[in-house]
Amino acid sequence: MTRIVLPGGSCALPGLCKLLTFCRVPLEDLMNKLILPVAIFVSVIIAGKISEHYGLEGNWKIGVLCLVAAVVQIAVTRFQRSRQKSVLDSRS
């Protein structure tokens, strides 16, 4: 299990370290699960700002945001699967 530790040996985020220890969730797994929602959130916010700049309204704006979210989901999922496959292949 990965812990966030300061040079003095104390935990950098004691509350988070206690929670992760209690839940038995490795930090890498937590980060892998958070990558997709964070990527979708950031990309949709950016696409929303760009669509506002170009004056898109109503159904066009919603369509663009949904399209961006779908493309990001596909891209991140493929990237994570390829990384997972390369890790599994290297262990064999």
* 37 residue type, one letter: P
pLDDT at 89 (0 to 100)? 81
Mean pLDDT, consecutive 10-residue stretches, the chain (92 aa), reads: 49 58 63 87 96 94 96 93 82 72
The pLDDT assigned to 71 comes to 97
Count the Cβ atoms, other than its own, within 10 Å of residue 47. Answer: 20
DSSP structure string for 5-46: B-TTSSBSSHHHHHHHHHHT--HHHHHHHHHHHHHHHHHHHH
Cα-based distances in Å from 39 to 26, 32, 74: 21, 11, 11
pTM > 0.85: yes or no: no
Asked if 68 and 42 count as a contact pair (C-beta separation under 8 A), the reply is no
The pLDDT value given to residue 10: 53
Provide the pLDDT for residue 87.
77
